[in-house]
Amino acid sequence: MYGLKGVIRLALVGALVLSVTTVFTGVARADDAAYVGTETCLECHDEMGAAFSASLHSKAWESSGDYQENSCEACHGPGSLHVDDPSKETIMTFGEDSMQSADQQSDTCLGCHSASQEIALWDMGMHAKRDVSCSSCHSIHKGYSPLAAMPETCYSCHLNVKIEANKASRHPIKEGEVGCNDCHNPHGTLSDAQIRDESTNQLCYQCHADK
């Protein structure tokens, strides 16, 4: 009836619909969830809660109305479905094994951080375009500061730069005198390679005006 090409098209469409449905199942179900409160979260996640409470992020959020009202669920979403079914499919999670896309994860962070000029061009940057989320570099529950460790975090993906940075003629990165983010804005720019100026020459002149 449809012919071979028609059958192939129907199969591809069916596979696409199934994959999209699978990816967004957790998000769709979260719409039906209700807030349960921090104490309920801590019944299972007490160690994570203690680590977060000691972090700089937690201290900053003490002034946030949304955090004061919903705490864990301000980022992870309402948790009633997760209480009944403690799987990743029923809660907003972060990281490589999250059921949510990189965009969905980052959108949660941007709910607070979008006002920062440093992140104003996030959607224009190569990290966002290549499905790198905020949590790919930043750890919220571990350590005092959520700031990414430089240059180790960058080197985990940019191995070619790590090689260049260990050559005889190089910037003093490993000595700690120059950091990756001194020249690049990992959160996005309008320039090539996410540099912090209109051109490479202009960027270099900031330190090497004599050249």
Are the C-beta atoms of 135 and 94 separated by less than 8 Å?
A: yes
| DSSP state string for 81-102 | HHHHS-SGGGS---STT-SS-H
**Residues 73-105: tens digit of each pLDDT:** 999 999 999 999 999 999 999 999 999 999 999
Tens of pLDDT, residues 137-184:
999 888 888 889 999 999 999 999 999 999 999 999 999 999 999 999
Whether pLDDT at 125 is above 90 = yes
CB atoms within 10 A of CB 47: 10
Give ∠ CA 191-192-194 in degrees, rounded to 5: 70
71 residue type, one letter? S
Cα(22)–Cα(195) distance, integer angstroms: 38
Collapsing DSSP states into helix, strand and coil, what is residue 115?
Answer: coil
- Say whether the peptide bond before residue 78 is cis (omega within 30 degrees of 0): no
The verdict on pTM exceeding 0.85 is no
How many angstroms from the chain centroid is the CA of residue 104? 9
Q: In degrees to the nearest 10, what's the CA dihedral of 55, 146, 80, 97?
A: -140
Q: What is the distance in angstroms between the CA of the first residue and the CA of the last residue of the chain?
A: 73
CB 59 within 8 A of CB 144: no
Cα gap 112→76, rounded to integer Å? 14
